Structure 1
């Protein structure tokens, strides 16, 4: 991988070697065992060179363009020139050019789909996140992602959430404890579950899910400073904020929609977690159009 792309990925909080492995796996799906692009090699002279524009076919927020650049360099080495690449997190309109690539035409078309797969999906995550960020503007609430990510894509999807202006929740099962209803049942109550985690892993942040205000009061008395309000209506969440009075951060979760986002934020909660940012996102329609063969 080029040194400048490696540095860019590191600055974005991504592991360059993991990204490269992901890119190579994507290319292997198209070219298993070192096979060739039979369409491009049959229709395009080996010495043909061209330029192609990556364009947005819908409005949104772009993410993953640096990963798309890695794809082109993996296919073409240094025999590719990438210009006019917008920074990830840029808002675009339909028709905007987000990146230009130039090099051997066969290689450009061979890399096209894998590059678009990364950029379109991650731009979809960023665009969905930005819609929630816009809906929450002017309130204290921030939008959080979840662990409801595609297997193998978690780091990239959480990166795209950041590009859209959202905040990452825990990455895995070890960097933060999330006590949910099944844990509460198994432990015998919200406080028992909270105390068990604090005892076993005193240095790990702990968040506990509650379904009613009695559980909230119990946890506040026990000193819990991160509480998730699960599937509560807005008046109940507003009362939870009043009861908490700043003693803990409050996260709203469960059954939330973009149409309801501002109503929930105006209850005074600190965070709103949205699994749909990653588990059911619609891609941002990006396309690559060859300009010169």
Structure 2
């Protein structure tokens, strides 16, 4: 993860939540009071965000003592304790909701991702995330995908060229879109991978004829069409299946021989994992 962007995310979250002070704690707890808390797992899943939690506590109060007991990516069950923290009670309570919001969502994403990744065991195919993320915290959500066993697609519009249907239509067709893209990369001296979305076999043949790209996406192909498409590509380019692929169908697509299957549901249809921070003696 980009540490500079990560620090900005945490700083914004702190300002958003705390404002000019945690008046609930200030009103009833002495400033010098100290205490301990632990992160209690209340639901089976994949833990994610422990390292981020430590960063949040450190941002609120560098003197908080953080003890990690379970690492990111570990399968957890109700009753497990992920970490303990000790320090000023005001600091612990300021951090509580920020830590839970980050970890519950990241753990939910990691848990779903692991479920999809497990369906691909024994095959070369890897599950990819998408840009269907929460604005402002994409880095955290993509990190959760990685922790869960998935692979990150491009982070944004800047680190890979992806010629989708609208790009192709506005550009005047696949050939023009690819050729002008290659010209752009040469003129701007950029080294970016090129992926092209195809909606049917005619578009696939056009991509194969023009060439000069890195990956071909088969959008909304059936498994039968995907198997034929993979055969036509014949290993010349990376391949990716996308479009309404579910947990029930992902292995059907993977068995067709594609390199990747992208699933937007990894990040945009998520149930957070149930966790809580509790005071301990």
**Do they superpose with TM above 0.5?**
yes
Moved more, 103-112 or 207-216: 103-112
**Do 2:240 and 2:261's aligned partners in 1 also have CA atoms closer than 8 Å?**
yes
Q: CA offsets per residue over residues 228-265 of structure 1, 9 Å max, x none?
A: 00011111001111111111111001111111111111
3-state SS in 2 of match to 1:166: coil
Match of 1:108 in 2: 92
Q: Are residues 15 and 244 of structure 1, via their aligned partners in 2, closer, same or farther at CA, if it must alter by over 3 Å?
A: closer
* Aligned residue in 1 for 2:208: 220
Q: 1:277 aligns with which of 250, 263, 266?
A: 266
2:66 is paired with a residue whose SS is strand
Deviations 1:95-140 (A, max 9, x none): 2111111112232122100111111111222112111111111111
1:267 CA displacement = 1.2
Matched, 1:171 2:155: yes
Equivalent-residue separation in structure 1 for 2:252 and 2:4 (angstroms): 42
Matches within 5 A, 1:141-220: 141-202=125-186, 203-220=191-208
Secondary structure of residue in 2 paired with 1:139: coil
- Distance in 2, matches of 1:219 and 1:88, equals 40
Match of 1:229 in 2: 218
The CA RMSD measured in Å over matched residues stands at 1.6
1:65 and 1:85 in contact (8 A); partners too = no
Question: For residue 72 of structure 1, what is the aligned residue in structure 2?
Answer: 57
Q: Distance in 2 between matches of 1:189 and 1:210?
A: 11
- Secondary structure of the residue aligned to 1:259 is coil
Asked whether the 8 Å contact 1:69–1:82 carries over to 2, the reply is yes
Q: How many residues align?
A: 276
- State the alpha-carbon separation in 2 of the partners of residues 288 and 98 from structure 1: 10
| Counterpart residue number, 2:257 | 268
Q: Equivalent residue for 1:9?
A: none
Q: How far apart in 2 are the matches of 1:253 and 1:195?
A: 24
Query: Of 104, 120, 132, which residue of structure 2 is paired with 1:136?
Result: 120
3-state SS in 2 of match to 1:148 = coil
**Structure 1, unaligned stretches of length 5 or more?**
1-13
SS at match of 1:100: strand
* Contact 1:133/1:165 (<8 A) preserved: yes
Tell me which residue corresponds to 2:37: 52
Of 48, 66, 75, 1:82 maps to 66
Give me the TM-score of the superposition, normalised by structure 1.
0.89
The corresponding residue for 2:5 is 18
Structure 1 outlier segments of 4+, above 4 Å: none
- Runs of 5+ consecutive residues of structure 2 not aligned to the other structure: none
Deviations 1:60-91 (A, max 9, x none): 1222211111221222221x111134222222
Q: Is the CA contact (8 Å cut-off) linking 1:130 and 1:164 kept in structure 2? A: yes
**What CA distance in whole angstroms lies between the structure 1 residues aligned with 2:183 and 2:5?**
34
1:30 aligns with 2:17: yes
Q: Is the 8 A contact 1:198 1:204 kept in 2?
A: no
Taking the aligned partners of 2:203 and 2:5, their CA distance within structure 1 comes to: 41
